């Protein structure tokens, strides 16, 4: 679940979103219920909660039946770690893992759900970009593109994909940000991917080889792909440009914050080099027939992301920090990129940290070209997200 602080009608509130889909719409918790939720810690009984509320209200009586009713309502919304929640999650897990195809979960929400409407929608992105900014190249090995909401990132998405529109890759390795991926560095799926633009098959033999690593490196299941948008958003752009005849290697990358202090680059993490070497070998064998795309965003600042003050106070230093990251990327410097994040202990919450770190290990001597950069400010939460587009080419 994603939980973040905000304000609603002038009062503090918590917004709860559920990546599983059990909660169809975000839930806003506000007022007395916030204090009530704060008492649910897995240790207190309903009776304990009742007595604590009575104490907080200077002796005003509250019945234990009322406490039970509130708990039941929260449980019905899947907000409690209960048997109801776990059984429902288990059912969803089993249903998804048995599917042969990963369906488009954001069609009809983040973008149109019909082929014709989606094609027109994406074409409007490219039509809005000045021709002088739509420079294309066929000598690009990898692309960094946003995974933020399409409407928000419209310009930078277009700057990214305009750079590769003249290419014709037979395979695309997709390095997505695994927002829900825990305890593993990678998650892969053998499922083919479906969007309103058609079905794209996966390179199942390569995925099977990569999946042979233990669970410390690769997740034992593909459930993290179910609701993840960082690959799905890239796929609709790729299909818009190239059709659906290419194949994909869908790789979600897990967080590296716990390794940040112990290592100086991603390749030093035990087991990671062996995984990346398989991908490197595949890239070397296929040459220009393969494009690597990292679907990432950069800094996340403001109260929504754990900072104690609004994003506007961090804006200048965030832009400087992002510029240093992009400079390291453009110089093909995996250690330099890691060091910049290490120096600030990932204070700016770069959610694409792992995907970019792994990408740079695949192309350590390549050079990059910044295509675009922007920051989206969310007024309701006084928070902001930065994102960029970078093309990476072999060094001449």
State the distance between the two ends of the chain, measured CA to CA, in whole angstroms: 46
What integer pLDDT is reported at residue 110 of this predicted model? 96
What's the pLDDT score for residue 29?
83
pLDDT of residue 372: 97
CATH, domain 105-393, list 3.40.50.300, 1.10.10.10, 3.90.1300.10, 3.40.830.10: 3.40.830.10
For residue 133, the model assigns a pLDDT of: 60
Give the CB-side neighbour count of residue 144, counting CA atoms within 13 A.
31
Beta bridge partners of 138: none
Q: Which residues contact 334 (CB under 8 A, 6 or more apart)?
A: 265, 266, 267, 357, 360, 361, 364
- pLDDT number for residue 245: 96
User: Looking at residue 19, what is its pLDDT?
Assistant: 67
Q: Sheet containing 11-17: give its strands across.
A: 2-8, 11-17, 27-30
134 and 372 Cβ atoms separated by less than 8 Å: no
Supply the pLDDT for residue 365.
Answer: 83
Q: Among 362, 376, 371, 318, which residue's Cα sits nearest to residue 135?
A: 371
Contact of 125 with 154, CB cutoff 8 Å: yes
Chunked mean pLDDT (size 10), the chain, 396 residues:
68 75 77 85 90 86 88 88 88 92 96 97 91 70 97 97 95 96 93 98 97 87 94 98 97 95 96 94 94 98 91 96 98 96 96 97 92 95 96 84
Report domain extents, the chain.
Answer: 2-94, 105-393
Specify the pLDDT at position 177: 96
pLDDT score recorded for residue 135: 65
Q: Is the pTM of this model over 0.85?
A: yes
């Amino acid at each position: 679940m994603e939980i973040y602080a905000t304000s609603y009608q002038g009062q503090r509130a918590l917004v709860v979103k559920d990546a599983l889909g059990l909660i169809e719409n975000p839930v806003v918790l506000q007022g007395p219920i916030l204090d009530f939720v704060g008492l649910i810690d897995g240790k207190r009984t309903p009776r304990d909660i009742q007595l604590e509320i009575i104490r907080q209200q200077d002796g005003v009586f509250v019945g234990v039946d009322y406490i039970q009713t509130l708990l039941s309502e929260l449980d019905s919304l899947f907000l409690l770690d209960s048997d109801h929640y776990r059984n429902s999650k288990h059912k969803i897990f089993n249903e998804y893992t048995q599917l042969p195809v990963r369906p488009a979960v954001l069609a009809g929400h983040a973008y149109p759900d019909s082929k014709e409407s989606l094609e027109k929608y994406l074409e409007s992105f490219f039509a809005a970009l000045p021709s002088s900014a739509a420079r294309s190249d066929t000598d690009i090995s990898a692309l960094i593109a946003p995974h933020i909401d399409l409407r928000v990132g419209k310009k930078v998405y277009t700057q990214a994909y305009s750079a590769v529109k003249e290419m014709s890759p037979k395979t695309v390795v997709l390095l997505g940000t695994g927002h829900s991926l825990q305890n593993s560095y990678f998650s892969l799926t053998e499922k083919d991917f479906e969007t309103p633009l058609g079905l794209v098959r996966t390179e199942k033999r390569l995925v099977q080889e990569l999946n042979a690593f233990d669970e410390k490196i690769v997740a034992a299941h593909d459930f993290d792909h179910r609701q993840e948008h960082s690959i799905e958003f890239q796929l609709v752009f790729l299909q818009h440009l190239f059709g659906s005849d290419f194949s994909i290697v869908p790789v979600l990358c897990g967080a590296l914050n716990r390794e940040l202090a112990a290592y100086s680059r991603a390749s030093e993490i035990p087991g990671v080099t062996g995984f990346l070497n398989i991908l490197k070998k595949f890239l070397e064998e296929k040459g220009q027939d393969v494009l690597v795309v990292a679907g990432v965003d950069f800094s996340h600042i403001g109260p929504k992301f754990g900072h104690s003050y609004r994003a506007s106070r961090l804006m200048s230093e965030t832009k400087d920090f992002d510029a240093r990251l992009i400079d390291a990327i453009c110089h093909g410097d995996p250690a330099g990129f890691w060091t910049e994040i290490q120096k600030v202990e990932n204070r700016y919450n770069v959610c694409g940290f792992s995907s970019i770190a792994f990408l740079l290990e695949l192309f350590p001597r390549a050079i990059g070209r910044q295509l675009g950069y922007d920051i989206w400010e969310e007024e309701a939460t006084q928070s902001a997200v930065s994102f960029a587009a970078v093309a990476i080419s072999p060094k001449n």
